Amino acid sequence: MSWCPSQDITTTPIISYQNITLSLAKNLTCGTGYLRSDVGGSLPPWILTAFAIVLQLPVVIVRIARWDKTQLICLFMSVLEAGIITQAYISTHLTPNKVLVWSPISLVLPAGAMIQQLVLLVEMHGSQIPLLRRIIVKRTEPSDSGFWNPLWFRRKSSSGPDLELGDVHAPDEGNEHQTSSSTNTRVRWTLVIMVLSLFLLVWFTVLETRGLVAAVHGLNVDHLEVSWCSPIFTTFSLAVLDGNCNQYEITQDFKKGIGCIKMQATEQRQWLRATIVLTSLFLSIQLLDLVTMLLVNSKYRVMKAVKMKRPWFSMISGILSLVVILIFGIVEASNLPTGITERVWVVMKVGDDVAACTGNLTPAGLRGAVIGWTDGLLNSWGAAYFGASA
């Protein structure tokens, strides 16, 4: 591959082709170096996404059969996910060229978990909480037949009054105080979980809506660019020319000891479109799951085995969204970005002269994804993350 015919380098000032012909004749080499995204230019490292899938999939399966056994772990993972996306929003300021860090498409899974937890807890224990007693009709055990059985249309159970806070129906009067205390404690913990689930569900909805609005605005930004860095862009490097005759001016980040170029944010623009489509879809899915959870008979089973009263759309969409992020994360780490070739020429300043050397760029791999994503996620931490020199 030869230098583009008589092409000048349009840096400031312009470097003419004649000034570097001598170094081209010597076939100088710059070596091989990775090309990684700068702050906020990478998807979550694929190994973290794979770990999330391995952790979430068993929890989803347990939620289908024994949802009450997953309440605490669902709360923990939901708080963690909400914290990560909130931190991403703060660090990136929702700038469109950092959408790979802040895209909220992974929130549909924890949002569905909070819908399931909230509705089923209200259904099971709502009559034990005085505040909810005034809002919903006292429930009765749903019949085994019939698909529909809305929560607020259920008649009061004929078997007796619902259990109130502190009420105990025990024949042994000696254990009355102990049983009452145990009931109160259980109801209080149930109320705490309900409040946390409701708060997280509202917060997820706010994050998704805010991210959707930011993606719409970001897609309308012209000349969207993202920064890419490589160790072969040394301190005295001025510009890069690739095999397609594309020119990129090099800027030095002396705090990080690396040179970077700006390229068209092709992947980011595609991800903005995906964020708009998927977030809109997922918000609709969450609403559909909420309505379904409120209306469907809790004892209705599909093929007499699996209960229908579950946020099926959110669970399936959530796992699929993680799989999509995993696949694109692997592809991103294994390929160079669109717009640059593997072999490049690096124009550098040598004393009062300029020279050009041939270099080879390689994909950033997992390490590059970790750096790009983590730098974007924790950028707001400043010196606490980057060190005092930042």
Residue pLDDT, tens place only, 235-294: 788 889 888 888 899 998 777 778 999 999 999 999 999 999 999 999 999 999 999 988
For residues 305 and 203, the answer to whether their CB atoms sit within 8 Å is no
Mean pLDDT, rounded, of the chain = 83
Structure confidence by residue, pLDDT tens digits, 316-346: 999 999 999 999 999 999 999 998 999 998 8
Per-residue confidence (pLDDT) for residue 73, from 0 to 100: 95
**CA-based nearest residue to 356, from 18, 20, 17, 3:** 20
Say which residues have a Cβ less than 8 Å from residue 245's Cβ, sequence separation at least 6: 4, 7
Say which residue, 185 or 29, is predicted with more confidence.
Answer: 29
Tokens of 240: 């890069």
For residues 275 and 43, the answer to whether their CB atoms sit within 8 Å is no
**Per-residue pLDDT band at 354 (split at 50, 70, 90):** confident
Task: Please name the residue ranges forming H helices in 126-231.
Answer: 130-133, 176-219
Per-residue confidence (pLDDT) for residue 66, from 0 to 100: 87
Q: Is 29 in a helix, a strand, or coil?
A: strand
Per-residue confidence (pLDDT) for residue 390, from 0 to 100: 54
Percent of the chain with pLDDT over 70: 76
Q: What is the mean pLDDT of residues 109-126?
A: 89
Structure confidence by residue, pLDDT tens digits, 271-281: 999 999 999 99
Length of the chain: 390
Cα→Cα distances 97→26, 40, 219, 371, Å: 39, 8, 10, 16
Percent of the chain with pLDDT over 90: 54
Helices (H) and strands (E) in the chain — how many of each? Answer: 11, 10
Strand ranges across the sheet with 353-363: 247-249, 237-242, 343-350, 353-363, 29-37, 225-230, 258-264, 251-253
Q: 311 preceded by cis ω (within 30°)? A: no
Per-residue confidence (pLDDT) for residue 156, from 0 to 100: 46
**Per-residue pLDDT band at 112 (split at 50, 70, 90):** very high
Q: Which conformational region is residue 90 in: left (phi greater than 0), alpha (psi within -120 to 50 degrees), or beta?
A: alpha
Per-residue confidence (pLDDT) for residue 45, from 0 to 100: 96
State CA 339 to chain mean position distance. Answer: 26
**Per-residue pLDDT band at 348 (split at 50, 70, 90):** confident
